[in-house]
């Protein structure tokens, strides 16, 4: 799948997630509604799992489908078997969100919200969504961006 197949007219979010990370599980129920809002804004969304499924079978392609169905994902959830996408983006943890403007310039690198291993409160600032609203409107991301926190990407041993 190419970036052009995923991006919307006003931008795109590339999220590195996986199935077993408690930080991802903590946000998984919120993610579909955020993605719907982003789509309505003209922003595309894709999630990528780059973990080594041999050492972490919970993150296998088969289990990705189960995870996506469990949480109602209606966006592409891709497996980066070679880990080349994760390396190219410089992804370091799950979840890790990259927000791009319409011109493909990276404008946001951060978290969904203040959730950690437990979901944040319902009234938590929606950092990714608000950043993408700003990016869609101005082409520029917010000055303040909080880094993602989560499980490290499970790199393959070479």
Distance CA 35, CA 73 (A): 9
Q: State the pLDDT at residue 87.
A: 97
Q: What is the pLDDT of residue 63?
A: 98
pLDDT tens across 55-108, in order? 999 999 999 999 999 999 999 999 999 999 999 999 999 999 999 999 999 999
Q: Are 104 and 74 in contact (CB under 8 A)?
A: no
Percent of the chain whose predicted confidence (pLDDT) is above 90:
91
Q: What is the mean pLDDT of residues 121-150?
A: 95
pLDDT on residue 12: 98
Is 76 in contact with 46 (CB distance < 8 Å)?
yes
Domains of the chain in sequence order = 3-152 (3.40.30.10)
pLDDT, residue 76, reads 97
With a CB cutoff of 8 Å and minimum separation 6, the contacts of 13 are 38, 43, 44, 45, 46, 97, 98, 99, 100, 128, 132
| Per-residue pLDDT, 3 | 86
Q: How far is CA 54 from CA 50, 58, 96, 123, 155, in A?
A: 12, 9, 22, 38, 11
pLDDT of residue 2: 86
119 within 8 A of 27, measured Cβ to Cβ: yes
């Amino acid at each position: 799948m190419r970036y052009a197949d995923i991006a919307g007219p006003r931008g795109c979010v590339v999220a590195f997630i996986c199935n077993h990370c408690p930080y991802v599980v903590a946000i998984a129920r919120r993610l579909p509604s955020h993605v719907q809002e982003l789509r309505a804004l003209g922003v595309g969304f894709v999630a990528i799992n780059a973990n080594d499924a041999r050492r972490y079978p919970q993150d296998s392609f088969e289990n990705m489908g189960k995870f996506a169905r469990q949480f109602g994902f209606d966006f592409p959830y891709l497996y980066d078997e070679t880990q080349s996408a994760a390396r190219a983006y410089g992804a370091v943890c799950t979840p890790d969100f990259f927000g791009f403007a319409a011109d493909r310039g990276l404008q946001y690198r951060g978290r969904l919200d203040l959730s950690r291993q437990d979901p944040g409160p319902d009234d938590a600032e929606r950092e990714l969504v608000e950043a993408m609203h700003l990016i869609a409107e101005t082409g520029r991301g917010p000055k303040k961006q909080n880094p993602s926190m989560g499980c490290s990407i499970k790199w393959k041993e070479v």
